[in-house]
Amino acid sequence: MNLFGLHGKSALVTGASSGIGKRVALAYAQAGAAVAIAARHHEPLQELAADIADGGGTAIPITCDVTQPESVDAMLNRVDHELGGIDIAVCNAGIINFDGLLDMRPEEFQKIQDTNVNGVFLTAQAAAKSMVARQRAGSIITTASMSGHIVNTPQQVGHYCASKAAVIHLTKAMAVEFAPHNIRVNSVSPGYILTELVEPYIAEYQALWEPKIPLGRLGRPEELVGIYVYLASDASSYMTGSDIVIDGGYTCW
Phi, psi of 27 (to 5 degrees): -65, -40
Burial of 91 (0-12, 13-18, 19+ CB in 10 A): buried
In the chain, the domains with their CATH numbers are 10-245 (3.40.50.720)
Residue 197 has pLDDT above 90, yes or no: no
Catalytic positions, written as ranges: 145, 160, 164
Q: What percent of the chain has pLDDT over 90?
A: 98
Predicted local distance difference test score (pLDDT) of residue 16: 98
| Burial class, 146, CB count within 10 angstroms (exposed 0-12 / middle 13-18 / buried 19+) | buried
Mean pLDDT of 77-106: 97
Please give the pLDDT value at position 253: 87
Average pLDDT over residues 59-72: 98
**C-beta separation of 88 from 37 below 8 A:** no
Q: How far apart are the first and last CA of the chain?
A: 35
Q: What's the mean pLDDT in 228-246? A: 98
Confidence of residue 1 (pLDDT cuts 50, 70, 90): confident
